[in-house]
Amino acid sequence: MDSDVESLLEMSPEDQKVNTDTYEDPLTSLEDHGSNTKGHDQEAHTKLNNCEKCKQLEDCLQNTLDENAAMKNLLKNVYERYNEMKEAKFILEESVKALKPFRIRKRKEIAPPKMYSRVRG
């Protein structure tokens, strides 16, 4: 049974030869077809332009691109504001460090306690 499979898998010498008359290099054939796309695909292009589902898909894709651009702008703005907040926080922390030696720790240091006399009657 293995020999049957092997015989089916073996290529004949004619199959192994490449016929240069009909053989097209894939890259060359793509380039040739690429240069003729306007004339070749005109009918398909017209059908796609007239297709309602295609128009809906194009609109959906355009909306997605617009939303993507808006989200990128929003993200950029958020990132800029975040950096501004970080900078403001750093400045505030430095200001607190600069004022720390002048900090009054106890209320007694602000003013001496007042002596109130209570009158009982």
pLDDT along the chain (121 residues), means of 10: 57 53 52 50 75 87 94 96 96 89 66 58 51
Per-residue pLDDT at 115 = 59
Instruction: In whole angstroms, give the CA distance from residue 65 to residue 57.
Output: 12
- Burial class (CB within 10 angstroms; exposed 0-12, middle 13-18, buried 19+) of 74: exposed
